[in-house]
Structure 1
């Protein structure tokens, strides 16, 4: 029998890092690096999982989804969630999970795996709902974040499932629009330093939400979606001094994202302008939220010096990767500059379509 294959891409956050857990919008794109899940029937009542990239093998029973989850039990969490939507596996498969998306590098390899697994299960066994990218994204978010009580937002799952460049409103409605714009070259540089996703996200999320809550206790009408720098000046004295940077960063990053959206909506978006906004976003992440490390900053500086329009850290911080937007004729120079600054790998990527099935 021909194997049944589900693929889901990684993602780059272009604008809006550390915004989605606040319900603020982001601009992100899927990239042509993937996690692939391949399944072949094995005539048992087990999913026999093989993850060659991680040298892991284990078994998941089809009908025992009641055990408590540990952080990182992504496949089990997906099975719990899809069951609630009427997806009931009734046949075992040998499942192989592998890909060319680097792990723990800020490019959402875990979310791509969750999206691919949700898609594989829904496409193979059906559910109460018609299969769609939005459904896949919704269930992937529920499995990775809500089911495991994790601090992340919706950006990773929705970008991987939907694909292209998207503007995503990360509130309850999860409305999105595809941005049909062309970007010049995108170049990834991997630092080789593992990022601290859960710890970093949890800490920064709690501080930002605490700052917003303190302001709302003084003014219940305060809305972070509408806030600007005047509001920051008006409210900063309410906050203990250590809390002020988190309010400032939330407001500034939101304003930068809105400027980027306006540029993307132009008939011919100016990649230089987008690069300048990417630089401004990185400065907030580096100087205010302090999520970068010296190697990341050196790689960003090297990329810009080599001709990139702009460059920034990608992912939750503490390590991971950077992305640069650049003219195509500067690709080789920028790749070399990133490696000279310490990147363990650097390469161009393209904007990619979302998750899909290969039969």
Structure 2
């Protein structure tokens, strides 16, 4: 099924508790927040056991919540006019992912799926009332779904005093999206939302869930990282994502590997010669070279050589466009125009088929790059893009 993510309200986030009170007639027991994310490099590597280098955005999804004395989950989103969605959690343990429980569709499927996944893991949770607010742009490749999943999981486990390490929480949030929403995503989005720290990119080994927090301070280097939201909505549950996952897993099996992560970069060409399917060859080339780009970008960040990461970003976009075939005309135009206007490098970020691009620029170049991209979109007849700057923010936390 397609993603139908929580809508950004564009309203002040401080009103989550007030909204809960007005809706349910009493104050919440707390408010929990989880951020969206930008992936600096390492795209479509997570379901191949590879490496990624995301960081959390200041944009976040808040969940105001309180326990209930029964086994009912009531969910409301400020971004949708559909009212309160009610779900009976009785007997929700022991779920069969092959036959997911019948429940809400659209945005409400995400918090419902999180509750099911937590209960199926044997966690002692009860009912709850939830009120959701978000300013994470939806459909922009910035992981609004993961922000909702992680914020919901953190709220429910904290409400019921269930100790859960952040990597485990992220893994259950991913299972919710895989098994019950129907999107076969990797774990990178949820890990970034749950585990990131301010001022750092998160080097993530998606096989072991090992993390390293890498200093990433564009401002100190006289730089800025722009996020160019093309406003092209993407839907990753429509078969395109699953096709690429199957192609990668099939290629790994054909090469006798547990996952494409296990193919050394130095042996890539020999391995490609063993594959008859040209599509599989392209997919493998992207994954293996993208893992290598993550390693090289981390080395440059540690050395304080941020400008030199630019060509690797551009190289990554070409790989996603040509070998993984997940770009679109709007993303390609954003990347090429940003570079022509002075960016050190640019690339699409997120799953693709729309969403956002990144551009690494000098701090004083934001106005010029923004103007160039906006004018290029207008000339092409595209919807005006939304351009903002991004800096690494903190991961999920209880905020009230």
Give the TM-score, by structure 1 length: 0.89
Q: 1:221 and 1:8 mapped to 2: Cα distance?
A: 32
Q: 1:43 and 1:306 mapped to 2: Cα distance?
A: 59
Q: Aligned residue for 1:260?
A: 297
Please, which of 250, 253, 270 is the counterpart of residue 210 of structure 1?
250
Question: Counterpart of 2:234 in 1: which secondary structure?
Answer: coil
Does the 8 Å contact 2:65/2:128 carry over to 1? no
Aligned length: 350
Q: 1:69 and 1:350 mapped to 2: Cα distance?
A: 40
Q: Aligned residue for 2:342?
A: 307
Structure 1 residue 295 corresponds to structure 2 residue 321: no
Q: 1:20 and 1:325 mapped to 2: Cα distance?
A: 23
Q: 1:9 and 1:81 mapped to 2: Cα distance?
A: 20
Structure 1 residue 157 corresponds to structure 2 residue 190: yes
| CA-CA distance at 1:271 after TM superposition | 1.7
| CA-CA distance at 1:119 after TM superposition | 0.4
Please, which of 199, 204, 207 is the counterpart of residue 168 of structure 1?
204
Give the TM-score, by structure 2 length: 0.80
Aligned 1:51-66 pairs, distance under 5 A: 51-57=77-83, 58-63=85-90, 65=92
| CA-CA distance at 1:132 after TM superposition | 3.9
Does the 8 Å contact 2:346/2:358 carry over to 1? yes
Q: Aligned residue for 1:137?
A: 170
Aligned 1:7-26 pairs, distance under 5 A: 7-26=33-52
| CA-CA distance at 1:122 after TM superposition | 0.8
| CA-CA distance at 1:278 after TM superposition | 0.6
Structure 1 residue 243 corresponds to structure 2 residue 280: yes
Q: Aligned residue for 1:195?
A: 234
RMSD: 2.4
Question: Counterpart of 2:79 in 1: which secondary structure?
Answer: helix
Q: Aligned residue for 2:311?
A: 276
Question: Counterpart of 2:53 in 1: which secondary structure?
Answer: strand
Q: 1:99 and 1:144 mapped to 2: Cα distance?
A: 18
Range moving further from structure 2, 116-125 or 64-73:
64-73
Question: What are the Cα deviations for residues 48-103 of structure 1, in whole angstroms up to 9, with x where unaligned?
Answer: 3221213333112343536625776222221122224554444542x221211111
Question: What are the Cα deviations for residues 246-266 of structure 1, in whole angstroms up to 9, with x where unaligned?
Answer: 121122112211211221222
| CA-CA distance at 1:156 after TM superposition | 0.2
Question: Counterpart of 2:86 in 1: which secondary structure?
Answer: strand
Range moving further from structure 2, 287-296 or 69-78:
69-78
| CA-CA distance at 1:2 after TM superposition | 4.2
Question: What are the Cα deviations for residues 224-244 of structure 1, in whole angstroms up to 9, with x where unaligned?
Answer: 434225432354243223322
Q: 2:327 and 2:233 mapped to 1: Cα distance?
A: 12
Q: 2:78 and 2:334 mapped to 1: Cα distance?
A: 30
Unaligned runs of 5+ in 1: none
Compared CA separation, residues 290 and 221, structure 1 to 2 (3 A): closer
Q: Aligned residue for 1:111?
A: 146
Please, which of 194, 214, 217 is the counterpart of residue 179 of structure 1?
214
Compared CA separation, residues 148 and 331, structure 1 to 2 (3 A): same
Question: What are the Cα deviations for residues 79-136 of structure 1, in whole angstroms up to 9, with x where unaligned?
Answer: 122224554444542x221211111111000110000000000111122xx3443332
Unaligned runs of 5+ in 2: 1-25, 378-383
| CA-CA distance at 1:147 after TM superposition | 4.9
Structure 1 residue 83 corresponds to structure 2 residue 119: yes
Does the 8 Å contact 1:215/1:222 carry over to 2? no
Does the 8 Å contact 2:252/2:258 carry over to 1? no
